[in-house]
Structure 1
Amino acid sequence: MTAVAATAPGRRAAARGYARYAAGKLGGAAVSLFAVLVTGFFIFRIIPGDPVKVLTQGTPTTAEELAALRRQFGLDQPLWQQFTEYVTSALSGDLGMSYQFRAPVGELIAQKVPATLLLTGVAVVLYSAIGLRLGTRTAWRHGGTADRVHTAIALTLWSVPSFWLGLLLIVTLSVGVGPVPGLFPTGGMESGDTTGAARAVDIAHHLVLPVLTLVAVGYAQTLLVMRSSLLDEMGGDYLTTARAKGLRDAAVRRRHAVPNALLPVVTMVFINLGHVVAGSILVETVFSWPGLGGLFYQALRVPDLPLVQGLFMVFAGAMILMNLLADLLYPLLDPRVSR
């Protein structure tokens, strides 16, 4: 009873410490989100281009009609008034009306989310699993042939721009090279003439190249971060103690080394989960994938200010949320973080 009672104050102190830690992180996330809200308004107004002139390009338009469009879009108002209305609407959940699509920004984003979640979700699961597995193996047997080969490949792929890799895959595996025919579609999400199981197979066929592009770059980053983190842990005295107790090498790695090496990897994995919502603008554009990345590229070309602002908020908000979840998870992995 005495031992149990003695541990109760410690648990309460730990709970209070975690509560203060969580409150600080939540406050920081709220400040970051407001900073994104403000930045998203001003940064896209630096982009050269007049939305009204772009949208009426090729159509005979009088000065009165141009002025009417400016009034309709609210571009005739002073900048401070535009900013006030933008912040007020955004805080109430209204992201505005798209200039080019003449539809609510929220609805446009919701329509594109499934395609982005499919593409980036599959890619994140694959490259996280592959990168963590190979990063652990190469670090534990560092200096060997497998370590040198995997590290060299990862460094090369991490330095390659994703859009360039995507174009290379299109040339070699979609268009075909010499006697080698093209094996995969050049772009899009589906052919549009299939249903049922055949449609699922068709979508999977279209997924191969964009997923391969994302996996190639993502697994390289995950492998290198996991390898570096585990190498830092391998000199720890606690591993020597674990071995002295008679634990097998695999058990020492699994029970002691890997859990302590996961903190930086957790951050990266959660950031990658943020990318599941944000998508990959360059890869989606290269492969004409009908997701949020492609929609963002379309919006930038005008520029469609409500749409780019709404997408920027969604992208940044997803990253802030994932970082917050990673921060809240840290103390569960290592209680020293919240002290």
Structure 2
Amino acid sequence: MTADSTPALAKSADARPGSGPAAAAGPEPGARPGTRGPRARNLRAYLQYAAAKIVGAAVSLFAVLVTSFFLFRLIPSDPVKQMTGGRRVSTQQLAALRHQYGLDQPMWKQFTSYIGDALSGDFGISYQYHTPVIDKITGALPATLLLTGTAYVLYSALGIWLGTRSGWRSGSRSDRFHTAFALTLYSVPSFWLGLLLIIVFAVGIGPIPGMFPTGGLEQGGLHGFSYVVDVAHHMVLPVVTLVAVGYAQTLLVMRSSLLDEMGSDYLTTARAKGLRDDLVRRRHAVPNALLPTFTLMFVNLGHVVAGQILVETVFSWPGLGGLFYQALSVPDLPLVQGLFFVFATAVILANTLADILYPLLDPRVGR
């Protein structure tokens, strides 16, 4: 028997039931029969941590309700006059419209009615479309999820992949190019990039012909596979716009996180064991570097529902972002308030979910 096997035998002997220091000391004081003390304490600490995050999210949602009511009433515009479209309307007719929509009631009564209805899922009737707000939101939601969801998957995968390569080969020509390109795109306003893509690839400039539609979801009148191709054709430019900005942010965060891990002792140990460089990167460095990127991905996941207001407006995309812009121009207070609450709820829930799942990836959090 070699000297190296002695510690292994001692370790295996300690691992057997009824042996080792833990067994000699007996069960942990205060631990119930059949329960492992440290595991129970960890579970209890995690549940308390998760409950605190959920309570905080509920408080934040209520604060959003209150904010959405007062914030959009600061807009210097009369929604009733906007609904008349500039036509000459008598004072009696304006008063009747204000009474119909409850705008002649005291502010405190409007506020209590709004809070009570919103908690039951009723955001009122749209001034502009004369339909329930919730119906307008559910009608525009699929278009937003299609556009931003597709872009989210693409820029998350692309950003993580290129960020890993850039961080692992820091200082190389490829790293300098990708970092400079990502910094440039990250600093470019998304609406400006969208307008530029429309000018170049939709309208056409010089030798480049117009190859894509200037906006919208479909041209209409198509069914089946032709409809799918037409929608995909309309999605190219807005998806490219969202991917360009989103991938740059993900790449920079992933690269920075990986650089922080490069000098860690566990990577030196892994290399000393003879592991190949790509295995050290995939099995050890990347999983730890993904933690900050994981948080960023959940933050961006909330924006998948919230949509991209400017991008959807530039490309006339019939989603929640474009609907919010149209409602804000009236202002259509019930629709604006409902959309604002939906946007904020999506972001808050995504952040809360990230906070709850993060301790499962990094046990140091929440202890």
* 1:261 aligned counterpart, secondary structure: helix
* 1:189 aligned counterpart, secondary structure: coil
Q: Distance in 2 between matches of 1:90 and 1:291?
A: 22
Q: Give the aligned partner of residue 200 of structure 2.
A: 172
1:312 aligns with 2:336: no
Q: Give the aligned partner of residue 12 of structure 1.
A: 40
Moved more, 178-187 or 121-130: 178-187
**Cα displacement (A) at 1:264:** 1.4
Q: Give the aligned partner of residue 80 of structure 1.
A: 108
**Cα displacement (A) at 1:59:** 2.6
**Cα displacement (A) at 1:193:** 2.1
Q: TM-score, normalised by structure 2?
A: 0.90
* 1:336 aligned counterpart, secondary structure: coil
Q: One-letter code of the match for 1:33?
A: L
Q: Give the aligned partner of residue 259 of structure 2.
A: 231
Q: Distance in 1 between matches of 2:206 and 2:262?
A: 49
Superposed CA deviations along residues 193-212 of structure 1, whole A, max 9, x for unmatched, are 21110010000000000000
**Cα displacement (A) at 1:10:** 1.6
Q: Give the aligned partner of residue 104 of structure 1.
A: 132
* 1:48 aligned counterpart, secondary structure: coil
Q: Give the aligned partner of residue 280 of structure 2.
A: 252
Q: Distance in 1 between matches of 2:217 and 2:138?
A: 17
Q: One-letter code of the match for 1:315?
A: F
**Cα displacement (A) at 1:58:** 3.3
1:21 aligns with 2:49: yes
Q: Give the aligned partner of residue 191 of structure 2.
A: 163
Moved more, 93-102 or 201-210: 93-102
Q: One-letter code of the match for 2:149?
A: G
1:51 aligns with 2:79: yes
Q: Distance in 2 between matches of 1:32 and 1:310?
A: 16
Q: Distance in 1 between matches of 2:279 and 2:325?
A: 48
Q: Distance in 2 between matches of 1:251 and 1:26?
A: 38
Q: One-letter code of the match for 2:355?
A: D
From 118, 132, 145, the equivalent of 1:117 is 145
Q: Distance in 2 between matches of 1:67 and 1:96?
A: 19
**Cα displacement (A) at 1:156:** 0.2
Moved more, 57-66 or 117-126: 57-66
Q: One-letter code of the match for 1:76?
A: D
Q: CA RMSD in A?
A: 1.3
Aligned residues: percent identity? 70
1:93 aligns with 2:121: yes
Q: One-letter code of the match for 2:183?
A: L
* 2:326 aligned counterpart, secondary structure: helix
Q: Give the aligned partner of residue 185 of structure 1.
A: 213
In structure 2, runs of 5+ residues without a counterpart are: 1-16, 29-34
Q: Give the aligned partner of residue 290 of structure 2.
A: 262
**Cα displacement (A) at 1:222:** 0.4
1:145 aligns with 2:173: yes
Q: Distance in 1 between matches of 2:124 and 2:251?
A: 41
From 281, 304, 317, the equivalent of 1:289 is 317
Q: Distance in 2 between matches of 1:265 and 1:26?
A: 22
Q: One-letter code of the match for 1:268?
A: L
* 2:36 aligned counterpart, secondary structure: helix
1:188-207 aligned at under 5 Å gives the runs 188-207=216-235
1:302 aligns with 2:326: no
Superposed CA deviations along residues 218-276 of structure 1, whole A, max 9, x for unmatched, are 00000001111111111111111221222222121112211111221111101111111
Q: Give the aligned partner of residue 135 of structure 1.
A: 163
* 1:31 aligned counterpart, secondary structure: helix
Q: Give the aligned partner of residue 271 of structure 1.
A: 299
Q: One-letter code of the match for 2:259?
A: L
Q: One-letter code of the match for 1:202?
A: D
Moved more, 230-239 or 279-288: 230-239
Q: One-letter code of the match for 1:313?
A: F
Q: One-letter code of the match for 2:295?
A: T
Q: Distance in 2 between matches of 1:53 and 1:238?
A: 68
**Cα displacement (A) at 1:35:** 1.0
Q: One-letter code of the match for 2:168?
A: W
Q: Distance in 1 between matches of 2:123 and 2:261?
A: 46
Q: Distance in 1 between matches of 2:86 and 2:67?
A: 33
Q: Distance in 2 between matches of 1:165 and 1:104?
A: 35
Q: Distance in 2 between matches of 1:135 and 1:302?
A: 43
Q: Distance in 2 between matches of 1:11 and 1:99?
A: 56
* 1:338 aligned counterpart, secondary structure: coil
Q: Distance in 2 between matches of 1:252 and 1:70?
A: 68
Superposed CA deviations along residues 259-303 of structure 1, whole A, max 9, x for unmatched, are 111221111101111111111000000000000000000000011
* 1:224 aligned counterpart, secondary structure: helix
